[in-house]
Chain A
Amino acid sequence: MSEPWEEEGPGEVKKFMYVNRKAPYGTIYALESLEVVLIAAAFEQDVSLAFVDDGVYQIKKGQDTQGIGMKNFSPTYRALEGYDVEKLYVEAESLAERGLTEDDLLVPVEVKSREEMARLMDEQDVILSF
């Protein structure tokens, strides 16, 4: 029997992409996606996150949720690195359409064009869309 601190190997590694399309508040999608990512990080797969459409607001700096009485969970995106989730892609067009730039985001990301994003999605074994 193995001790609880002994880690097992990762087995077959698949490419997982979590696609985040919705604004952070108003629906539960953003928070649920983040929780699934954090839980699934334990399985040591090849994980990436994509932020497209209003999903780019999820990682916008300076979120203030006092007025809506919800917890501001945006600091948690900064914890992803510690979970070895380091591939965060943001669609350039989605940023531009909303008047945002990379400097408005609270985590380091790779900005990708819509075309590049489509190619990345094509490479995945599993895509989870939120």
Chain B
Amino acid sequence: MPLEVNGKTYETDEEGYLANLNDWNEDLAKAMAEADGTTLDENHWEVINFLREYYEEYQIAPAVRVLTKAIGKKLGPDKGNSKYLYELFPYGPAKQACKYAGLPKPTGCV
């Protein structure tokens, strides 16, 4: 299902994950979120940017448990907990945030 943003068409897989990581830009993330009825605020961006850095370093999208722990390490326990992350990303923090970050679906996520 291709995604159209600002007159450009982007390839995605059948679940809406971006096909090419390098196609990603912030407007694309906003458009994906809007389609889910979400408006991205600075807290969302913090997680999205964290995920992009994680992928850059390790070449994978982290499992939710790993993401939660890593966020806690970097941003403190107020943010490194499941409740906070599920409130930001009710469809599942790893799944939904990875999608907006232009990453593939986390390994092991079904």
Binding site for B on A (CB under 8 A): 4-6, 35, 38-39, 41-42, 71-73, 75-76, 78-79, 82-83
A75 near B108 with CB under 8 A, answer no
A-B contact count (CB 8 A): 43
A35 near B107 with CB under 8 A, answer yes
CB distance from A4 to the nearest CB of B (A): 7
Kindly state the separation between the CA atoms of A6 and B81 in the bound complex, as whole angstroms. 11
* Given known A-B contacts A75-B58, A82-B70, A4 and B108 have beta carbons under 8 A apart: no
Residues of B within 8 Å of A5, CB to CB, are 81-83, 85-86
Known: A4-B92, A79-B57. 14 other contacts (CB 8 A): A4-B86, A5-B81, A5-B82, A35-B108, A38-B60, A42-B65, A71-B59, A72-B59, A73-B59, A75-B57, A75-B59, A76-B59, A76-B60, A82-B70
A82 and chain B: residue at smallest CB distance: B66
Residues of A within 8 Å of B82, CB to CB, are 4-6
B69 near A82 with CB under 8 A, answer yes
Residues of A within 8 Å of B60, CB to CB, are 38, 76, 79
A-side interface mostly: helix
A79 near B62 with CB under 8 A, answer yes
A-B contact pairs, 22 of them (CB 8 A): A4-B82, A4-B86, A5-B82, A5-B85, A5-B86, A6-B82, A35-B107, A39-B108, A41-B63, A42-B63, A42-B108, A73-B59, A75-B57, A75-B58, A76-B59, A79-B57, A79-B58, A79-B62, A79-B66, A82-B66, A82-B69, A83-B63
Fill in one digit per residue for B52-64: 1 if any A CB lies within 8 Å of its CB, else 0. Answer: 0000011110110
CB distance from A42 to the nearest CB of B (A): 6
